[in-house]
Amino acid sequence: MKQPKYLSLFLAGTLVIGGFSPAFVAAEGNTETVEPVEQTETTETVEQPETGETIETPVSTETQEETTPEVAADVTAPNAPVVSAPLHTSTTLTIQGEVGAKAEILIAGKTYERVIRTNGEAVFSMSPQPVGRIIDVRLVDASGNVSETTRVIVAEDASARPAAPVIGKVDNSSRAIEVKGTPGLAVTVTVGGSTFNGTFDANGNYRRVIALQKVGTVLTAQAKKPNGALSVLVKSTVVADTVAPNKARLSQAVTTVSNGIAGTAEPLATVIVTIDGKAYTAPVMSTGKFVLPIPKQPLGKKMSLVVRDGAGNRSAAETLTVQHALFNNFHRVNFDGFRLTLHKEVFATNGWVRYNETFAPLFFDRPSKANMAFLLNYIAEDGEMVDFKRLRIRVGNASFVHTIDPYDVSYDEYDDGSVEETYLFEPDAKMIAFIKQHVRPENRIVITIEGYEYDYEWALLGGEKRAFIQSLQYAGY
């Protein structure tokens, strides 16, 4: 097929004037190496319109090998994340960083992961952490590049502090510091240069024994919650003690068989007993109790007792008199206008009898032969009276009978319907002799009230027997 004339001229001119055109032009900014193009030459027959001759025209055929550009690897690490400042009450942690990156959160040795969302944030839910806990966060992108670590430390939420503790008064004679606070919370107390850690008990009290402190020594106390939140630091100082302690209170009188003095006094003070110019001392325990050993002393011996606190203040002196060996076995009460001395195993502290049927000795005022009397008492809960006629004391086959004048018997009726019959009398010499001879702890002693209505009898208990024996001894029999 023949080419149009203008096309032939165009092709011929291109071959003669332009040589060959490059088959590939690199894109702007492309720095890749372009391989050379391989060319093959062919001929084409073209008819010349002026002469009718045909000529062969060489035609160039280019073959080019295509190449694909390589994509550069991502080696750029993400920026360090921005992490919200956590408080000890916080339940979430907000992390800001590169979208799509994985946030690794390290808390207390455990690692958690969250992905940064399209808004550039990730929210990590957590339980409240203690004050001072370290939280580390870093980002890892899709290519594995790791950011620098952002570290945050859990801080205290000032609005959630525990209540401030209260320090009790501490003076220069105090041997302990007492602090009040919220039950169950930990507390740290400082006394001068010493620090003590403890816990408030169920009543909110904390007590610590301390050495004597100088006036002006600084004291502090601070409560702490389990999550680390701290209360306000409370401060106080040691003050001067100018108040003398109270007198000591003895648990028992000093008797001829006592080898020590026991009682209560100001806690952690010192008790001092002076006998014939010689002083004996003992510390008072934190509970307020003390025991001071002394040699046994004779009946009627006088001694002086004072209490001295840590600041050197002294109580008023108290004079102690050594009593009979049986002194502590008896009550001393005022009963119906009378001062009575009553055995503790038969009578209560208010002077009332301990049993519904009673036969026991007692004393008007101080124990002596002249002051001794005997009480025969019977309480009928059903209201039926015996009407006393005779008293019989029987030990084995031996017995002693005492006749009762009915005009000497008193009767009392109570709202519950019970009736009490009481007979109080002085013993004669025959009765005293019989009791001394037969009343023994090992003997069975039977008391019988012979009445106009009926008889009533019972056996004395061990305590009632001891009341007989010790009362006669106390009286001097």
- For residue 411, give the nearest of 453, 448, 447 by alpha carbon: 453
Q: Are the beta carbons of 142 and 78 closer than 8 angstroms?
A: no
Least confident among 59-68, 154-163, 307-316, 425-434:
59-68
Mean pLDDT, range 172-195, rounded to an integer:
94
* pLDDT > 70 fraction of the chain, expressed in percent and rounded: 85
Map out the domains of the chain as residue ranges.
Answer: 5-63, 82-158, 161-237, 249-321, 327-475
More confident residue, 207 or 382: 207
* pLDDT number for residue 14: 41
Which fold, 161-237? Immunoglobulin-like (2.60.40)
Query: Mean pLDDT score of the chain, rounded to an integer?
Result: 86
Which fold, 249-321? Immunoglobulin-like (2.60.40)
- Beta carbons within 8 Å of 283's beta carbon, 6+ residues apart: 268, 269, 270, 290
pLDDT tens-digit series, residues 326-357: 999 999 998 778 899 999 999 999 999 999 99
Mean pLDDT, range 290-300, rounded to an integer:
96
* pLDDT number for residue 286: 85
* pLDDT number for residue 336: 77
Strand order in the sheet with 186-191: 194-199, 186-191, 218-224, 234-237
pLDDT tens-digit series, residues 432-469: 999 999 999 999 999 999 998 889 999 999 999 999 99
pLDDT tens-digit series, residues 98-153: 999 999 999 999 999 999 999 999 999 999 999 899 999 999 998 899 999 999 99
Domains 82-158 and 249-321 share a fold: yes
Question: Residue 17: is its pLDDT beyond 50?
Answer: no
* pLDDT number for residue 57: 53
More confident residue, 24 or 224: 224
Question: Residue 64: is its pLDDT beyond 80?
Answer: no
**Structure confidence at residue 53 as a pLDDT band (50, 70, 90):** low
Q: Does domain 82-158 have CATH number 3.40.50.2000?
A: no
Tokens describing residue 15: 């071959």
* pLDDT number for residue 8: 42
pLDDT tens-digit series, residues 248-266: 999 999 999 999 999 999 9
Question: Residue 300: is its pLDDT beyond 60?
Answer: yes
- State how far the Cα of 177 lies from the Cα of 183, in Å rounded to an integer: 17
Three-state SS letters, the chain = CCCCHHHHHHHHHHHHHHCCCCCCCCCCCCCCCCCCCEEEEEEEEEECCCCCCEEEEEEEEEECCCCCCCCCCCCCCCCCCEECCCECCCCEEEEECCCCCEEEEEECCEEEEEECCCCCEEEEECCCCCCCCEEEEEEECCCCCECCCEEEECECCHHHCCCCCEECCCECCCCEEEEECCCCCEEEEEECCEEEEEECCCCCEEEEECCCCCCCCEEEEEEECCCCCECCCEEEECECCCCCCCCCEECCCCECCCCEEEEECCCCCEEEEEECCEEEEEECCCCCEEEEECCCCCCCCEEEEEEECCCCCECCCEEEECECCCHHHEEEEEECCEEEEEECCCECCCCCECCCEEEEEEEECCCCCCCEEEEEEEEECCCCCCCEEEEEEEECCEEEEEECCHHHEEEEECCCCCEEEEEEECCCHHHHHHHHHHCCCCCCEEEEEEECCCEEEEECCHHHHHHHHHHHHHHCC
* pLDDT > 90 fraction of the chain, expressed in percent and rounded: 72
Question: Residue 47: is its pLDDT beyond 90?
Answer: no
Q: What pTM does this model have?
A: 0.56
